[in-house]
A and B are shown apart, each in its own frame.
Chain A
Amino acid sequence: MTRWYEHRFHNTTALRMIFFIMPRLPRFLHPPVAALTALIFFLMLKSERRAVTANLRRVSNKRGLALQWKVYWVFYSFCDLMVSYCFVPQATHAQLLGMLVDSESGVAKIDQCLAAGNGLIVWTAHVGNWEFASRLLAMYGRVNVARVVENKPAEIILRNLMSSERLKTVDLKGGVPATLELLQALRRNEIVAIQGDRTYQRHTREVPFFSQPTSFPVGPFLLSQVSGAPVLPVFVIRQGWLRYRVLMADPIPAAPSRVTFGDDDASLYAAMCQAVGFLEKTLTTHYDQWMNYFDFWPVTSRD
């Protein structure tokens, strides 16, 4: 299965071109350049286009040209994401807030979650601009980004750009030590951020997603139960060029720790349904920002 970052254009040369050219262009030229670039990749990357088309067909119920237009917008959204690497990593807090259309979004919810002292698990997805989301979260303290680390040169460049004292990547390939690291971070009242729409290991659970049972990882919800940290579904969606809005659900409280094993499963399932339900609600409107360039349903079903 070809993943987005495995195609031949995801390389250091392409990144260097973006990082050299885009900051030097006047901002009003960014959208037309992105529109042209998105069109070129929309036409060239056939397998990715097919996969996105299949995903959006299920999500949007659109067909024909209307569907292809939305698929094109996924490529455009990806251009926004890539160009944001020129600005977001080194942006000050004031600059980050200046890129938001609503700078007050969710502040109280995050403060409320962290006030309990059990840390916070931010459950996000490949929607909009997740890198921007991680920088915003770092305003509240240390953020441990749980992900599968790819050691390809282009991925290393992007990871190094984003990493800071407040943004730490925890490689999920690390297995048990990585899990312990995340649990210890939560017990220091830190934030753990994870993209919940990719399955990395065998522990998944099927929940309804766009009318189809779909596998999502149970890890974040089990981590919540062990640590007592609430799960907060959060997406940062694009609202114009390099302008964003935070969409945040209500925190999902950790399942009570003193329940029987069978009840654990019911609690986990309910929490997963709540988070995935918020993803579905978000995608119903913003499906042209869902950047999964592989056939989402067959992959998750098989896992």
Chain B
Amino acid sequence: MASVKEQLKPLILKSFRITDLTPEDLRDDQPLLGGELEIDSIDILQLVLEIERHFDIKLVQANFNQKDLESINALAAIIESKVAEAKP
């Protein structure tokens, strides 16, 4: 089974409609905000939509904050914790 990070990277590319990069081009410490990806307020909605669908979780709740978007590592960490919470 692919790791959360491996599953997350294609979702990032799909959400931001990036076609000139592959998942392998994205570093684990790649910043999601203020970096090369230049995410804006609508991009983030696309990403949340894709992540919540793919992992069947509610990602953005009261305890979610901007720090969780600092990097792919940080985002993967909170997804992992939400997936663990969602398991029966």
Q: Name A residues whose Cβ lies closer than 8 Å to a Cβ of B.
A: 172, 174-180, 183-184, 187-188, 201-203, 218-219, 222-223, 225-226, 257-258, 261, 264
Cβ–Cβ contact B62 & A179, under 8 A: no
Q: Which residue of A lies closest to B69 (CB)?
A: A176
Q: Is B77 an interface residue (CB 8 A)?
A: no
> Most chain-B Cβ atoms within 10 A of its Cβ — which of A184, A188, A202, A226?
A226
Cβ–Cβ contact A176 & B66, under 8 A: yes
Number of interface residues of B (CB under 8 A): 21
Cβ–Cβ contact B52 & A176, under 8 A: no
A185→B28 CA distance, assembly (Å): 30
A16→B56 CA distance, assembly (Å): 53
Residues of B within 8 A of A264 (CB): 49
**With contacts A176-B33, A184-B64, A187-B60 known, is A226 near B42, CB below 8 A?**
no
Residues of A within 8 A of B39 (CB): 176
Grouping DSSP codes into helix (H, G, I), strand (E, B) and loop, the B interface class, with mixed when no group exceeds half, is helix
Q: Name B residues whose Cβ lies closer than 8 Å to a Cβ of A.
A: 14, 33, 39-42, 44-46, 48-49, 52-53, 58, 60-62, 64-66, 69
Cβ–Cβ contact B14 & A179, under 8 A: no
Residues of A within 8 A of B58 (CB): 187
Residues of A within 8 A of B60 (CB): 180, 183-184, 187, 226
Cβ–Cβ contact A183 & B41, under 8 A: no
Min C-beta distance of A253 to chain B, whole Å: 16
Residues of B within 8 A of A184 (CB): 60-62, 64
Q: Which residue of A lies closest to B61 (CB)?
A: A187
Cβ–Cβ contact B42 & A219, under 8 A: yes
Cβ–Cβ contact B42 & A188, under 8 A: no
**With contacts A187-B60, A188-B62 known, is A180 near B44, CB below 8 A?**
yes
Given A178-B41, A179-B45, A219-B45; 10 other pairs, CB 8 A cutoff = A175-B40, A176-B69, A179-B41, A179-B44, A184-B64, A187-B62, A201-B41, A226-B49, A257-B52, A257-B53
Residues of B within 8 A of A178 (CB): 41
**With contacts A176-B33, A219-B42 known, is A183 near B66, CB below 8 A?**
no
Min C-beta distance of B61 to chain A, whole Å: 6
Q: Which residue of A lies closest to B41 (CB)?
A: A179
User: What are 30 A-B contacts defined by CB distance under 8 Å?
Assistant: A172-B41, A174-B41, A175-B40, A175-B41, A176-B33, A176-B41, A176-B44, A176-B66, A176-B69, A179-B41, A179-B42, A179-B45, A180-B60, A180-B64, A183-B45, A184-B60, A187-B60, A187-B61, A187-B62, A188-B62, A201-B41, A203-B40, A203-B42, A218-B42, A219-B45, A222-B42, A222-B49, A225-B49, A226-B48, A226-B52
